[in-house]
Structure 1
Amino acid sequence: MGMTTTENSSTTQSHGKLIAVVIAAAVVIILAVLSAFVWPGWALNKSAATGSTTTQTGDKKQTAKAEPTTPSIKATALPDDATELLKSMPDSVLNYARTKAEASATWSAASPLEEYTLTYAVGTDTNDITLISAQWSTADSAKTQYDALVAAQTGDESASGNVKVSGNVTGAYVVKTDASDSKKSVAIWQNDTVVFQATGSTDAIDRFYQQFPM
C-alpha cells in the first residue's frame, strides 16, 4: 500500500520531535556528569555521609566490650567467728570480689544489733565499692534507718522501687547521685530487718546493687 504525501510529512515531523527529545535528554545527562566533576561534593555527599556513619558504627562495635561477670581476683575469707549476717555477704557480685569485711560503727546512733563495712573490688582502687550493712531487731527499726539515710542523700534520684522476696514486698530501695561527687552514686536498700548502703562510681553501683543477692 502506498503512503500519501501528508502521511510522509507527519512521519517526518514525529521523527524530528523524537530526535529532539533524545538530544535534550543526552544534554541533561552530560551536564549532570560535568557538574559532578565541577562540584565533586554534590555527587559524593550522600554516599560519603553514609560511609562515615557506617565507619563510626563499625568503630563502636569494634571498641565496645562486654562487662565481665566473674571476678579476676579472689575474695578475702571471712573470720572464723563471722555472724550469720556477715556470712550472708556474697564472696562476689558480678566481677566485684569481697576484699575487706570488718565490724564498724557508722550507724551506731541508730543502735543496730550488728554492723559491718565491706569493700568489693575488681583489682583497681578506682573501682572499689564500699558497702555498709547492718541489722535491727525489727523491720520497723530498719525502715526508720533506711528513711534517715535516704533523706540524708541530697543528690538527684536515678532509681527507686520496692524490694521483693518471693513476690512479697520486704522493703524499698533508692539510688541517688553522690552530692559530694557527681561521678559517684549511692544505693540504699532495706530488706526486712537489714539495711544496706553501697557507694562507688555510678556505673559500678548501677551494676552492683541490681545483682546483690540480699
Structure 2
Amino acid sequence: MSQPPGGSPTGRAATPARPATAAGSSPRRPTDAVGASDRRHSRPASAAVYRRRRLVVLVGLLLVVGLVLAFLAWGWPGFARADAAADPEPTVTVTADPPTPTLEPAARTGTTAFATALPDTVLDLVLRSDSATDAWTAARALEAYQLVYADGDGADATTVTVVAGQWPTVAEAETAAQDLVTAAGEPTDTGDVEVAGEVAGTYAVTPGADGQATVTWRNGTAVLQATGPVDVVTDVYEAFPL
C-alpha cells in the first residue's frame, strides 16, 4: 500500500507544530482574560494621604464656621456693627419711706367708736384740732366731727380739714353724700370706694378756688369730706383709713 508523501501512517493529517517558547518563560496571559487583575489600583493609600484629607476637611469646617460668625456679627443680628442698639439699662425704682409726722397730735374730744376710729395722723399731717360739729345735723347725721390736719405750725403749714359723719343707714348716708357733692360743684373725678375688694361707696373730687379741692366720699354709713390743696387732698383721701 502506498503512503502519500509526508502523510501519517494512520491516515490522519499531521498536527502543526506549536511555536517554541523561550526557555524558562511561562505562557503570556491575555490582559483581558477573566480574572485578570490590574495591579495599578491595588496599592493602599499611605498615611500621608489620610493626613492631607483630614487637613482639607478641617480647613473646610473652619471656613464654614468663620462665614457663619461673620454673618451673625455683620449681618443679622449684627452685634458687631457700630449702629447696633445696646441693651437698655434696667430701670431701678426707689420707693421712698412714708413721711413721718414731726408734731404731737391734739387731744381727742370724741369718745364714740366712730370718733376714735378717726386717725391722729394722715401721711405727714398731724391732727391739730378735733371738735364735734352740728353742720350735718339737718341731714340726719347721728354724729359729726371736724378735724384739722397740718404738717406744722403757722400760716405756711399745709392744712387739710376733714368733716366726718355717721348715719343710721346706708341709704341715708348715700343721700347725704350725693347732696354734699352737688353743693360742692361739678366734680372732675368720680369712682367707687372699695373695701376688701367690695364696693362700699363712691367718691368725687371737686376743684375749688386758689388751688384748693374737695374730696367727698362714702364708706358704708360714714360720709367724709376733705378740703385742702389740690395736690395734697387726694393723697389724704387715699390714705385715710375710713
Name the TM tier (shorter chain): 0.5 to 0.7
Whichever structure has more helix as a proportion of its residues is: 1
Distance 2:179 2:210 in 1: 21
In structure 1, give the amino acid aligned to 2:129. Answer: K
Letter in 1 for 2:213: S
1: distance between equivalents of 2:187 and 2:211?
Answer: 12
Please name the residue that 1:97 is paired with: 126
Q: In the superposition, relative to structure 1, how do residues 113 and 156 fare at CA in structure 2: closer, same or farther (>3 Å)?
A: closer
* Percentage of pairs with the same residue: 34
The corresponding residue for 1:114 is 143
* Paired residue secondary structure (1:86): helix
Report what 2:100 is aligned to. Answer: 70
Match of 1:141 in 2: 172
Q: Between Structure 1 and Structure 2, how many residues are aligned?
A: 145
Gaps of 5+ in 2: 1-95
SS in 1 for 2:232: helix
**Cross-structure match for 1:161:** 191
Deviant stretches of 4+, over 3 Å: none
Superposition RMSD in Å: 1.7
Unaligned runs of 5+ in 1: 1-65
Q: Which has the larger radius of gyration?
A: 2
Matched, 1:191 2:219: yes
The alignment partner of 2:223 has SS state of: strand
Structure 1 residues 156 and 172 mapped into 2: Cα distance closer, same or farther (>3 Å)? closer
Q: Highest relative contact order (Cα 8 Å, sep 6+), 1 or 2?
A: 1
Displacement of 1:84 after TM fit? 0.8
Distance in 1, matches of 2:193 and 2:215, equals 13
SS in 2 for 1:123: coil
